[in-house]
């Protein structure tokens, strides 16, 4: 049989399909169906090599209407074929040879009891076979393609023409290379994720709530992106994130806070305004009580003045303890802190002992939260460190956006975020998603040592308020609220 121009064109198009396909299952389907089409055969079986055996992966018989494994479903009722030379497929795999059998019923070269038993059960008649090993450019065995019953133009079963042997083998090798490349890409993805998990584990050792925050953010990102995808599919949303960008975003979520590894624990885990400095204040106030008592005993102050000083010290210390854990410092309280900051003890030699140090005053003056301006600046620097750390990582092209997205999760639409004050169109959709999710988890987290968790409805309202002020994407805030409600209904965390 002579190949015509159309045959060569068909073969070239198959080659193009194989080298541009990015789905393992489709590559396997393409090589099996292409092999059947080129050789005009009725049936085919694709085996994949694993654990020293050939496992059934695809089976198709046109005349019987059989198609198994074509959608990736496993074939579990067919035991794998051991690599023994008596089996034609195993022989082809072991020796990497193409085996062409004109009629299995008249061949004593291999054990064909299996095909004969299959024929007796189904009424099928297996006659010709073309068995081709599939190996990549590194001579690694990927599997075996078994083509069955070549047909002539009249539909009669004939032997496989020898000219097809090299064609099917070359297409098989092409498919094997693509499968290997996809395997390498999957390995790179796994490597990226294992790197992220390793960093998360390191953060967990430093401060447990940080690692939980990272995993929460990843889960919320996943829920929100899936919800947006669902709305887009239903024609209710113009936003869209493809699977490749979703993978990048999930990885960015895992590494978005790795810069916190360089933030001192005294700042990371600061639960109150003064933290350990409260003990120093209490020690100083005990010293002040003793100094005033000495002054009274030496006659520098009266008993009444001494008692008044003690009452003031007790009142001031009670005030300091209350402010240390207060949620918010109002104007009146702030002014009282400034008055306290001016209090001092002066001994007979003129030595001055302030009631509070400059740092303690700055801590007690914090309006909201537990960090001073300097401490907050050091905490905010974690995004800069995140970018610096990730810039040292050689991300392959499928994850090239991870450093950019992870390093911008504290930027706001109005430019008031940090570290680069990006705004508007400068912020990708993925950054906007990561920002909103990061804020949401920070608000609702139940394990933060310095704050109580905020209920979900209130957290969404806070995000809505931020959206009204132009800081975050209002549409994404609503989608997050809806996505979380849907996740609750579906039993997701």
Q: What is the per-residue pLDDT for 492?
A: 60
Question: Stretch 69-81: mean pLDDT, rounded?
Answer: 88
Burial class (CB in 10 A: 0-12, 13-18, 19+), 268: buried
Stretch 38-63: mean pLDDT: 90
Q: Give residue-wise pLDDT tens across range 163-187.
A: 888 878 777 777 777 677 667 677 7
Average model confidence (pLDDT) for the chain? 87
- 12 pLDDT band, cuts 50/70/90, is low
Q: Specify the pLDDT at position 27.
A: 76
| pLDDT tens profile 321-345 | 999 998 889 999 999 999 999 999 9
Give the total residue count for the chain. Answer: 493
**pLDDT bucket at 461, cuts 50 / 70 / 90:** very high
Position 5 scores a pLDDT of 44
Per-residue pLDDT tens digits for 302-312: 999 999 999 99
Which pLDDT score is estimated for 328?
A: 87
Least confident of 13-22, 26-35, 141-150, 384-393: 13-22
Q: How far apart are CA 40 and CA 153, in angstroms?
A: 9
Q: Does domain 5-183 fall into CATH 3.40.640.10?
A: no
CA torsion sign for 359, 365, 370, 371 is: negative
Residues β-bridged to residue 131: 99, 146
Asked if 5-183 and 207-264+391-489 have one fold, the answer is no
Percent above pLDDT 90 for the chain: 53
Q: What are phi and psi of 437, to 5 degrees?
A: -65, -40
CA distance 468 to 284: 47
pLDDT in tens, 254-297: 889 888 888 888 888 888 999 999 999 999 999 999 999 999 99
Architecture of domain 207-264+391-489: Orthogonal Bundle (1.10)
Residue spans of the domains in the chain: they are 5-183, 207-264+391-489, 277-369
């Amino acid at each position: 049989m002579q190949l015509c121009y159309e045959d060569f064109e068909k073969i070239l198009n198959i080659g193009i399909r194989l080298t541009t396909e990015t789905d393992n299952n489709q590559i396997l389907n393409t090589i099996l169906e292409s092999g059947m089409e080129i050789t005009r055969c009725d049936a085919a079986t694709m085996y994949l090599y694993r654990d020293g055996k050939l496992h059934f992966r695809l089976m198709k018989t046109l005349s019987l209407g059989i198609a198994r494994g074509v959608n990736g479903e496993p074939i579990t009722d067919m035991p794998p074929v051991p690599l023994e030379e008596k089996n034609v497929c195993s022989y082809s795999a072991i020796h990497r040879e193409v085996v062409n059998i004109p009629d299995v019923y008249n061949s004593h070269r291999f054990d064909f009891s299996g095909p004969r038993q299959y024929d007796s059960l189904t009424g099928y008649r297996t006659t010709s076979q073309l068995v081709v090993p599939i190996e990549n450019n590194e001579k690694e065995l990927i599997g075996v393609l078994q083509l069955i019953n070549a047909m002539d133009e009249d539909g009669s079963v004939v032997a496989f023409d020898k000219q097809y042997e090299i064609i099917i083998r070359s297409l098989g090798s092409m498919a094997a290379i693509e499968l290997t490349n996809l395997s390498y890409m999957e390995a790179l993805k796994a490597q990226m994720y294992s790197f992220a998990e390793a960093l998360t584990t390191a953060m967990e050792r430093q401060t447990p709530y940080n690692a939980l925050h990272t995993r929460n953010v990843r889960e919320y990102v996943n829920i929100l992106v899936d919800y947006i995808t669902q709305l887009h599919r239903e024609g209710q949303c113009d936003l869209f994130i493809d699977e490749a960008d979703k993978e990048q975003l999930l990885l960015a979520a895992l590494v978005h806070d790795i810069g916190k590894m360089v933030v001192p624990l005294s700042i990371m885990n600061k639960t109150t305004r003064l933290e350990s400095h409260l003990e120093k204040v209490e020690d100083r106030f005990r010293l002040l009580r003793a100094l005033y008592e000495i002054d009274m005993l030496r006659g520098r102050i009266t008993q009444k003045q001494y008692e008044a000083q003690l009452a003031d010290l007790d009142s001031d210390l009670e005030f300091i303890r209350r402010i240390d854990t207060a949620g918010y410092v109002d104007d009146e309280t702030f002014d009282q802190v400034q008055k306290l900051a001016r209090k001092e003890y002066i001994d007979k030699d003129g030595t001055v002992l302030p009631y509070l140090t400059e740092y303690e005053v700055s801590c007690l003056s914090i309006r909201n939260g537990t960090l001073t301006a300097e401490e907050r600046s050091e905490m905010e620097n974690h995004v800069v460190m995140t970018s610096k750390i990730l810039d040292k990582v050689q991300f392959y092209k499928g994850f090239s956006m991870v450093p950019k997205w992870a390093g911008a999760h504290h930027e706001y639409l109005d430019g008031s975020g940090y570290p680069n004050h990006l705004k508007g169109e400068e912020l990708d959709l993925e950054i906007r998603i990561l920002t909103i999710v990061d804020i949401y988890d920070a608000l609702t987290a139940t394990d933060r040592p310095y704050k109580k968790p905020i209920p979900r409805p209130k957290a969404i309202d806070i995000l809505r308020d931020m959206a009204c002020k132009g800081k975050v994407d209002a549409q994404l805030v609503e989608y997050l609220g809806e996505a979380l409600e849907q996740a609750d209904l579906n039993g997701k965390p």
